[in-house]
Amino acid sequence: MTTFPPPSFADRFQQRADERSPFCLGLDPSRDVLARWNLPDTVQGLSDFCERLADAAGETLAMVKPQSAFFERHGPEGLVVLQRVLKRFRAAGTLTLLDVKRGDIGSTMDAYAQSLFGKDSAYDVDAATFTAYLGLGALAKTVELARYHGACAFIVVRSSNPEGEPLQNAVGKDGRTVAQAVADGLRKLNDKAGRGLYPAGAVMGATLPPADRDVVERLGGALMLTPGIGSQGAGFGDLPKLFSGRERQVIPTAARSVLEAGPDVAALKRALEAHQAPSRSFREGA
Ligand SMILES: O=C(O)c1cc(=O)[nH]c(=O)n1[C@@H]1O[C@H](COP(=O)(O)O)[C@@H](O)[C@H]1O
């Protein structure tokens, strides 16, 4: 039986994070990772990668984040593998976030959102990533559709890569940086959605300097996905300087630093736990 309205993504995340850990595993089956796992760079190799990773994860993960690019690389058959792995993780009680960074004019965004959210959609994910370069207003209906389906739209506010800084810290007419303006707008979308629902989340790199605490504060109670841990140089020890006091809103995420432990399932399990344990400690303020 399905309930209506569905429980919010924020509530579902909190429950899973308490039970498992807040860590979100990135599924980035690049050419390099497939080669490391002794798999061919084909649809079959992609499929075997996903099965093995799902075997290693079992029912231990709160959340998984497939990067769409690595599936799109293989054309429509790659997207069928994506649909299958999403289904497999969903069956294991793991929340799914499709990292696809969509951003377009409103009418096109409607179509993207329809492909992502809801039981009858192509992907039926719990969350997805978006960019606001065409204006935060163009994402308003996407956030509304996410809310309707108990999902979450994670909007890039401050990315983990150094190339993002000049654009995101550019100062606008009103004296706010682009990132500050996006954060303020994101908070308004959550306020409009109603108390405690938080259908708009933020991407805030774990690599960012302490100056970005101001942006974190502007986000209010929004969930924050924090990539950049591991291969991009940030560690779990960097989280407090940006996010202390907001531990339960943080979703630490990493891909390569886990995947490089493969293809051995036991080694993958160890690498996963090596990311889950510090994620739990951070969440508990330890
Ligand atoms: O949205 C993301 O996940 C994301 C945002 C960001 O600011 N930086 C970032 O690296 N990512 C994604 O995180 C993944 C890389 O994770 P690592 O392999 O752990 O570095 C890629 O799929 C990126 O697209």
Query: What does 21-59 look like in DSSP terms, one character per residue?
Result: -S-EEEE---HHHHHHTT--SSHHHHHHHHHHHHHHHTT
Q: What is the pLDDT of residue 15?
A: 98
**Cα 132 to ligand 1 centre (Å):** 17
Query: Is residue 68 classed as helix, strand or coil in its secondary structure?
Result: coil
Query: Is residue 4 classed as helix, strand or coil in its secondary structure?
Result: coil
ipTM above 0.95, yes or no: yes
Pair of tokens at residue 279: 């994620």
Active site residue 119: no
Pair of tokens at residue 23: 């860590």
Q: What is the pLDDT of residues 145-161, one digit of tens each?
A: 999 999 999 999 999 99
Q: What confidence category does residue 2 fall into, taking pLDDT thresholds of 50, 70 and 90?
A: low
Indicate the top mutation candidate among 203, 229, 251, 272 to test ligand 1's pocket, ranked by most ligand atoms within 8 A of CB. Answer: 203
**Cα 172 to ligand 1 centre (Å):** 26
**Cα 174 to ligand 1 centre (Å):** 30
Please tell me the residue having the least CA distance from ligand 1 atom 7.
159
Query: Is residue 64 classed as helix, strand or coil in its secondary structure?
Result: strand
Q: What is the pLDDT of residues 85-125, one digit of tens each?
A: 999 999 999 999 999 999 999 999 999 999 999 999 999 99
Q: Where are the alpha helices (DSSP H) in 98-230?
A: 106-116, 140-148, 165-168, 178-193, 213-218
Report how far Cα 174 is from the mean position of its chain's Cα atoms: 30
Q: What is the pLDDT of residues 134-190, one digit of tens each?
A: 999 999 999 999 999 999 999 999 999 999 999 999 999 999 999 999 999 999 999
Q: What is the pLDDT of residues 218-235, one digit of tens each?
A: 999 999 999 999 999 999
The number of the ligand 1 atom at minimal distance from the alpha carbon of 69 is 22
Q: What is the pLDDT of residues 41-59, one digit of tens each?
A: 999 999 999 999 999 999 9
Indicate the top mutation candidate among 24, 25, 28 to test ligand 1's pocket, ranked by most ligand atoms within 8 A of CB. Answer: 28
**Cα 107 to ligand 1 centre (Å):** 27
- Among 203, 182, 196, 172, which residue's Cα sits nearest to residue 139? 182
Please tell me the residue having the least CA distance from ligand 1 atom 21.
67
Cis peptide before 240 (omega within 30 of 0): no
Query: Whole-number mean pLDDT of the chain?
Result: 97
Cα angle for residues 3, 8, 12 (degrees, 5° grid): 95
Instruction: State the pairing for strand pair 63-66/250-254.
Output: unpaired
Selecting among 87, 101, 173, 269, the annotated active-site residue is 101
- Among 213, 183, 193, 187, which residue's Cα sits nearest to residue 151? 193
d(CA 207, CA 175): 24
Indicate the top mutation candidate among 36, 253, 256 to test ligand 1's pocket, ranked by most ligand atoms within 8 A of CB. Answer: 253
Report the length, in residues, of the chain: 286
Place of tokens 């160890």: 270
Residues enclosing ligand 1, CB less than 6 A?
26, 28, 67, 99, 129, 159-161, 203, 205, 227, 230-232, 254-257
**Cα 146 to ligand 1 centre (Å):** 21
d(CA 252, CA 226): 5
